[in-house]
Amino acid sequence: MWLALAFVLRLAGDKAPWSHLWRKLALPVAVVVSAGHMSKGLAKLVSWLPFLPGALRDPSGTETARAISQKTMPAPASLLSLPTVTWIGLGLVVVAFFVAMREYRLARRGEAGANRGALPLVLLALCFAVIIAGWRYA
């Protein structure tokens, strides 16, 4: 992934050594990746948290699983709908993209082509956005 993002940056006209490109992209990429992981964590949290009371009553989960599968007990409803989680996740990625661009520009302060980092960061953010948007249709 680092090689691909640095290659995109190189295609955008940045002729710095590869190690320099990777160092300049490190923090901005981490910001976008963390937003993607926070979105995934949110999706898991809102779907798993309603099962917590049942897990406290039945730690092994066998009776609860049997009751849910036999339809004698309804499965707990999710805290938020999947479309809502999708929109929150997309919002996190968009905000992370702008923070990442800010960090990229700060890392390149005083250098020419401070906006070249937009292309690899846009591509990375779009990859996460496509995955998150796919949750809506899962």
The pLDDT tens digits for 16-29 are 888 888 888 888 89
- The CA–CA distances, whole Å, from 77 to 48, 73, 136 equal 10, 12, 17
Q: Annotate 66-99 with b (16+ C-beta within 10 A) or e (fewer).
A: eebeeeeeeebeeebeeeebbebbbebbeebbeb
What pTM was computed for the model?
0.81
User: What are the pLDDT digits (tens) for 48-82?
Assistant: 888 888 878 888 888 888 888 888 888 788 888 88
The full set of domain ranges for the chain reads 2-135
- 109 pLDDT higher than 80: no
Q: Which residue carries 């849910």 as its tokens?
A: 68
Q: How confident is the model at residue 114 (pLDDT cuts 50, 70, 90)?
A: low
For residue 55, the model assigns a pLDDT of 79
Tokens standing for residue 134: 């796919």
More reliable by pLDDT, 1 or 39:
39
Mean of pLDDT values over 36-59:
88
- 113 pLDDT higher than 80: no
For residue 14, the model assigns a pLDDT of 79
Spatial distance between the Cα atoms of 7 and 18, rounded to a whole number of angstroms: 9
User: What are the pLDDT digits (tens) for 81-99?
Assistant: 888 999 999 999 999 999 9
Spatial distance between the Cα atoms of 93 and 100, rounded to a whole number of angstroms: 10
Mean of all residue pLDDT scores within the chain: 86
